[in-house]
Homo-oligomer: A and B are copies of this chain.
Amino acid sequence: MTIKLDADGTVTNPEGFQVGTATCGLKSSGNPDLMLLHSKQSCTAAGMFTTNQVVGAPVTLNRETLKSNTKNMRAIVANSGIANACTGNHGLNNAIEMQNIASKSLQCKPNEVLVLSTGVIGVQLPMEKIDKGIRKASSNLSINGGYNGAEAIMTTDTNPKHCAVEINLPSGTVNIGGIAKGAGMVHPNMATMLACITTDALVPASILRSTLKTAVNNSFNKISIDGDTSTSDSVLILANGLSGISCAQGDSRKAFTDALISLSTDLAKQIVRDGEGVNKFVTVHVSGAPSIKEAHIVANSIATSPLVKTAFAGGDPNWGRIIVAAGKSGVRFDSSKTQLWIGSKIEDELQLVEQATPCDYDESIAQHIFSQPEFYIHLDLGNGKSEISVWTGDLTEEYVRINSDYRT
């Protein structure tokens, strides 16, 4: 039983999935902005959505759709450029209209289509353009369309995000493929984080849902660009069963779960690497916590601290800011027991803090580590056995520039 990651893979790697794209003219760049993902056979489906109280119309609609149908899904239609969020009833009607247009083009039922939108908030979709775009995309559906689909859902992303995994089971081979987009407002999330995942494994809807939840909690929910969450974050998965291989129980279910975590983690890390203004990829590992939940809260507190993230940007191993960011998290710990290490790989790990006081370390080595494009920090709270890693980037002047200029 092996799991093989394919960095060039996409949602069209699994059997029976096709993607078509179109340019509706929703983005000032004039780049493709519409994607249609279709399965030639009915799929089980699951979705996870933003925890923000304010949600885009597609999130509202998908939640409804998945209430009535998780066993006969056929397609996902997605546009970039306009988020269809904060758009009231008019916006909800437009999302329903997108679903209707796609279902007509694909000759399926409306509730067999899921809808995604990402981009600017508070602007209504131009439905005539969307209508043309969906019909165009349905005319160029292709089993090689996955990469184009990844491009069509980009907003401030600088590159498309995609990968696939192949699972070799004793009973045969199963594929999972994914595409995603970032890039700001990721916590995990926006100018919306979206991910579409496909698989030809045979997975009952209820198991698909719990497996997706596990995978998302171990991947997309562990990344942070700026601590802001969006109205539209969504991860959708469709399983069409065309491999004929069941992943419903036992070893094959476990392999499927592991593979889905691998794929999701790879996509999540791609999102951080392409985060707005991000020059450095930093793993924040917190150990010695009383629970996973508390480890996660402390890690997020560090990963979202502007003072920590500007220190990353400046290549300044300012460990005081890291300890203090942990201290503000609200999680109780005895600061006199904290230890801190940094490293770009295990071999050059350097301990900076022991029992809350600075070690006698070589500052130039610490600076060298913080000057690398990828490094990690490891904080031990000395108060338990739970640990977690989250992934984040630095906070640069470029981030501020991108987000000061976004609309104007």
Contact residues in B for A319 (Cβ distance below 8 Å): 122
Q: Contact check: which of B120, B356, B404 meets A310 at CB < 8 Å?
A: B404
CA distance A190 to B404 in the complex (A): 25
How many identical subunits does the complex contain?
Answer: 2
Bits for A369-408, please: 1 = Cβ < 8 Å to B, else 0: 0000000000000000000000000011101110111111
Contact residues in B for A91 (Cβ distance below 8 Å): 357
CA distance A403 to B319 in the complex (A): 13
CA distance A232 to B367 in the complex (A): 26
A405 touching B314 in the complex, CB below 8 Å, given contacts A54-B335, A307-B226:
yes
Contact residues in B for A313 (Cβ distance below 8 Å): 400, 404
Chain A at the B interface: SS class: loop
Contact residues in B for A405 (Cβ distance below 8 Å): 314, 316
Say how far A25's CB is from chain B's closest CB, in angstroms.
21
Answer yes or no: A229 CB below 8 A from chain B CBs.
yes
Q: Which residue of B lies closest to A52 (CB)?
A: B327
Q: Contact check: which of B120, B307, B367, B407 meets A185 at CB < 8 Å?
A: B307
Q: Contact at A404–B333, with CB atoms within 8 Å?
A: no
Answer yes or no: A358 CB below 8 A from chain B CBs.
yes
Contact residues in B for A355 (Cβ distance below 8 Å): 88
Q: Which residue of B lies closest to A53 (CB)?
A: B327
Q: Contact check: which of B51, B315, B328, B404 meets A311 at CB < 8 Å?
A: B404
Q: Contact at A404–B316, with CB atoms within 8 Å?
A: yes
Top-10 shortest CB links A-B: A121-B320, A314-B404, A54-B327, A310-B403, A88-B357, A397-B397, A53-B327, A52-B327, A229-B328, A54-B335
Interface residues of A (CB under 8 A from B): 51-55, 83, 85-88, 90-91, 120-122, 184-185, 187, 190, 226-231, 304-307, 310-311, 313-316, 318-321, 323-329, 331-333, 335-336, 338, 353, 355-358, 367, 395-397, 399-401, 403-408
New A-B contacts (6) at CB < 8 Å, excluding given A88-B357, A229-B327: A53-B331, A120-B320, A187-B328, A229-B324, A396-B404, A399-B400
